Chains A and B, each alone.
Chain A
């Protein structure tokens, strides 16, 4: 059993946690933005898949991970534009539209994958890793943390930028007001529709990038339904983090470890049924919800369409 603490196993565990945690983090950060603004985005799963597919296409034909991420963001934004028009502008039910986007995202990406590649699943090579000088030589942590794609570090920076935005800027204040009490924001002369629209657009972009990371870096391949519920996991993470980006970071990493534990266990030579291991993240979610669910905080105006002057 001591082999579990072997250096390579730990490195693989941390590294895998990061690789699996980053898409969760990006998506959950996106969800945090839109939930703070009062829009519950159940379409994350679909947006991630669209991002994953479009991003993969970009990286595959453009031979650039950055092109892939850019296209992934655009794909995510396209997918969430339905949410903006239907829910934010027209006031339809956010839950229904969110589920519709998820289902549509799953279907469309599967069909496109089939049409494009048939039954073959082309792979991408490794790309875009940066070795941070000196730090990557630290044993165990070094290779795990400091030999990742640049996007990982940008994502972490984004988290802290967002902390600042929420705390110290007008934009952040407007976002919070839109979720806490939209009529107050409206009375203060700021468009609730506008605020919520750009919040959802950010969510779409981030979920798209999250998905693209999953296909380009995480797996190196696009397979239909490859998100496997990670969009919903992101919603749970966002809820447990009570809208605070720094907690999203921590929680995403922990769930990432749960997701990547298979590889680490294989390296350690421990033989547990993969089916059991694959259940781990979902068990972790249920445990987390049971333990901390009561502490979760949702903005009062979440999932309630705003109509001026309505009672």
Chain B
């Protein structure tokens, strides 16, 4: 294995040397750019995990355009920050979600019972289409404010992983608890009583 080139190749012509340097510098810059991007992605990955609002942290504010007939006396666009001073129950649901059907009646009953005590229930309809959503609300005769989460903005802010998911917000606008399961009347009462105390 002799490795002499067939014909001598010009090695140190100044023009090609400069070009080579440029090339090397470019390659290095590209590499650095790539590495920077990777680092940034990695950091992003780490920060993404476990970003659900923790108990005690302020509940992300949002605006919710309410369905007609499901405004419970609130304006067309409900803002969470306007409810400061009240205990708020944010319930994420969808008409295609089987589990949601299990808790819908309980939510409505407890809402009727607690609404005089300064509790507000807010139904956030997730990834749903209009007609089945309204049919769902009608089926359970739901009266608390409900609206569609347009472009999943609220769901993203609360980092929900699915439906149903329910957030309890205290009077100071902080997240008291997040529940990732259908709730019973007893569950709701226990938590609300604790928050109202």
A, B from the same assembly = no
**Chain A: residues with CB nearer than 8 A to chain B?**
none
Residues of B within 8 A of A (CB): none
